[in-house]
Amino acid sequence: MTKTYKYLYPAFFMNCTKDQREMLKHLDTKGFLQNVFLDQDTKKKYEETQLIYLLLNLPSKYQSVLDFCRNVRTYIDDFPIGEIDQNLYMVVFNIEDARAYNNFVASKYSKMYSSIFLEKAFRKTDGSFLSAYHVLARTVRRKQELISKFGLKDIDFETAELEELLNVEEETFKYKNFYKETV
């Protein structure tokens, strides 16, 4: 799972309608949503530049999911990527939350969202929080994890981000690398 999926996807997800969020949850829980990526070459292909790419695995009987995606207000494009696996599709959406997008690509995770957004988007139904919340909110729990796992005691936890810097290479979908790993 990419950092784009963990930290930036919620900016897209929470901007959808309630019905669209339910469908996206279904795609995620049923395993159709494989991952979420950035694309460093989007300026060449699309006018919009704050994009995320959702990699979907859609068996033929679920092709109507593409119609659903095309009706999301921030939809940009979709295309098959499967020479080997005909079920794989990439769906491109615009991220309208410039603050979240820009801070994400700058590795300023704690500046991506307001505390109200974090509470709403990263709280599980049982009241606990997703692990991404602890990075984004810079919680004591995450600080303790870093100290115990890596022995990081000399870090100024009041200003430091609690996640490693974003590696755009790892966050960008690469067709060749994907098939090299899966074939």
Q: What is the pLDDT of residues 51-82, one digit of tens each?
A: 999 999 988 788 789 999 999 999 999 988 86
Give the three-state DSSP class for 51: strand
Query: Rounded to the nearest 5°, which phi and psi values hold at 86?
Result: -70, -5
Average pLDDT over every residue of 111-123:
96
Q: So what's the pLDDT on residue 22?
A: 94
Task: Give pTM, 2 decimals.
Answer: 0.86
Q: So what's the pLDDT on residue 112?
A: 97
* 8 Å CB contact between 183 and 85: no
Q: What is the pLDDT of residues 10-34, one digit of tens each?
A: 999 999 999 999 999 999 999 999 9
Among candidate residues 58, 21, 53, the one with its CA nearest the CA of residue 40: 53
Q: How far is CA 82 from CA 36, 86, 91, 133, in A?
A: 16, 5, 13, 34
Q: What is the pLDDT of residues 131-171, one digit of tens each?
A: 999 999 999 899 888 888 888 777 777 788 999 999 988 89
Strands (E), 4-134: 33-37, 51-57, 75-80, 88-94
Q: So what's the pLDDT on residue 5?
A: 96
Distance of alpha carbon 86 from alpha carbon 138, whole angstroms: 41
Q: Where are the domains of the chain?
A: 3-182
Q: So what's the pLDDT on residue 44?
A: 60
Q: So what's the pLDDT on residue 157?
A: 77
Q: So what's the pLDDT on residue 145?
A: 87
Distance of alpha carbon 15 from alpha carbon 12, whole angstroms: 5
Q: So what's the pLDDT on residue 155?
A: 76
Q: So what's the pLDDT on residue 159?
A: 82
Average pLDDT over every residue of 97-107:
95
178: pLDDT strictly greater than 70: no
